[in-house]
Amino acid sequence: MSLTLSASVIVQGVLTGLVYGLMALGLSVIFGIVRVVNFAHGEFAVLAMYIAYLLFFWLKLDPFLAALPIAALFFGVGYLLQRALINSFVARAEHDQFILMVGLAIVLVNGCLMIFGPEARHAELSYSLDSWLAGPLIIDAVRVYAAIGSLVVALMLLAFFRLTDTGTAIRACADNRLAAAIVGLDTRRLYALTFGLGLACVGAAGAMQTAIIDPNPSLAPGMTLLAFTVVIVGGLGSLIGALFAGILIGVAEALSSLVMAPSMKSLASFAVLVLVLVLRPQGLFGKGG
């Protein structure tokens, strides 16, 4: 196996992995803090892809720019959804939450199917086929843009949680729910904000993905599964962990399709998952056992 080949595959893996990371961040934020598992994760991502596609189709709006308004829209949707619907399920049994989220997923994916049909859509950007030469490596422009975009969004999110009072308050909720109520934090509002932020991540990631992948309703379950894998590998509730695990899985997938058959790609992420579950069940960045 030549060095150049491995190097370019690893670079691709890292780039793809960063987008995976952002995708998973959305799930991780919601689970880590609200303790609700968003089973409609992939469906929201697909919805974002379709919106980005439509904005491109109608207004020629670049998906990387569309990521901003879509993230804002998804934030609003997430906020209202949590306030109106999910909040009343937070204290309910897990299977009730499961049914709620799966119901939401079915509504979303079938909505997309009814409106857009089962065929994939292509958003052909002027630079979709551009690439750069970096020594012997060839790097796809869109993947670099998507990776940079994901990294920026992820860092903004991390900064928000570290540096702002509201961000700290959300972390406080995750840290000790009872204490949050005791000091008089408005936990319902913070949960709604969190759900909104989680969906905003998914929205941004989905929109940017449109430049790389063609939106198609059948992508949704795979995206949910991938996000779960990344979150579990990274450690439940750890944001850095999600980002890191995204890259890890991106590289593992890319390398496995190089070393084994490319069709084994999806097996690679499960292999990483199983390894982590056996060797470090709390995930790479997870707390305690």
Partner 1 sequence: MLSIRNLSVFYGDAQALDNVSLDVPAGSITAIVGANGAGKTTLIRTIAGMLSAASGEISYKERIITGLPGHQVCDLGIGQVAEGRQVFPTLTVEENLAMGAMLPRARASRKRNLERVYTMFPRLSERRRQNAGTMSGGEQQMLAIGRCLMGEPELIMFDEPSLGLSPALVSDMLATIGSLSQSGLTCILVEQNVAQSLKLSAYAYVLENGRIVLSGSGAAVLGDDRVRQAYLGL
Partner 2 sequence: MSRSGPHFGAARVDRRTLLLAGTTLSLATLAAPPATRAQAKSLRVASLLPRSGFLAPAGQSCHRGALAAQALLTDLGHAIEIVHIDTESNVETARTQAERAINEGAQALVGPFESGAALAIAQVCEQRKVPFIVNIAAAPQLTEQGYQFLVRNFQTGGQLVANGLKLIASLLDAQKLSYQSAVFLHANDTFGTAQRGAMDALFPKANLPFKLLDSIAYDPRAQDLSVEVTRLRSLSPDIVMVVTRAGDAVKLVRDMVRQRFEPKAIISPGSPGLYDEEFFQTLGPLSDFMIYNVPWVNPKSAMTSALEKAFAKANPSNRFAVDCLNAGFTFEAFLIAADAFKRAGTSNGPELMAAIRASNITEHVMTGGPITFDAKGQNPNIASVSVQNIKRTPTVVLPADIATTAPVMPMPGWQGRS
Stretch that binds partner 2, among 95-103, 115-123, 155-163, 164-172 (CB under 8 A): 115-123
| Closer of 83 and 121 to partner 1 (Cβ) | 83
Query: What would you report as the CA-atom Rg of the chain, rounded to the nearest whole angstrom?
Result: 19
**225 scored as a contact of partner 2 (CB under 8 A):** no
Query: 176 touches which of partner 2, partner 1, none (CB within 5 to 8 A by kind)?
Result: partner 1
Closest CB 187 distance from partner 1, rounded Å = 8
Closest CB 24 distance from partner 1, rounded Å = 21
Closest CB 230 distance from partner 2, rounded Å = 15
| Closer of 172 and 208 to partner 1 (Cβ) | 172
- From residue 142 to residue 171, the character string flagging contacts with partner 1 as x (rule: CB under 8 A) and all else as - is -----------------------x--xx-x
Closest CB 64 distance from partner 1, rounded Å = 34
For the record, the structure tokens of 220 come out as 């949704």
Interface pick for partner 2 out of 146, 242, 254, 276 (rule CB under 8 A): 254
| Closer of 222 and 281 to partner 2 (Cβ) | 222
Closest CB 289 distance from partner 1, rounded Å = 16
Interface pick for partner 1 out of 5, 176, 260, 262 (rule CB under 8 A): 176
Other CB atoms closer than 10 Å to residue 122's CB: what's the count? 14
Closest CB 62 distance from partner 2, rounded Å = 18
Interface pick for partner 2 out of 59, 93, 114, 278 (rule CB under 8 A): 114
Query: 185 touches which of partner 2, partner 1, none (CB within 5 to 8 A by kind)?
Result: partner 1
**257 scored as a contact of partner 2 (CB under 8 A):** yes
Q: Which residues contact 132 (CB under 8 A, 6 or more apart)?
A: 138, 139, 141, 144
| Closer of 29 and 252 to partner 1 (Cβ) | 29
| Closer of 177 and 280 to partner 1 (Cβ) | 177
Residue indicated by tokens 């992995």: 17
Q: How far apart are CA 237 and CA 78, in angstroms?
A: 18
Query: 148 touches which of partner 1, partner 2, none (CB within 5 to 8 A by kind)?
Result: none
Which positions from 184 through 203 interact with partner 1, judged by CB under 8 A? 184-188
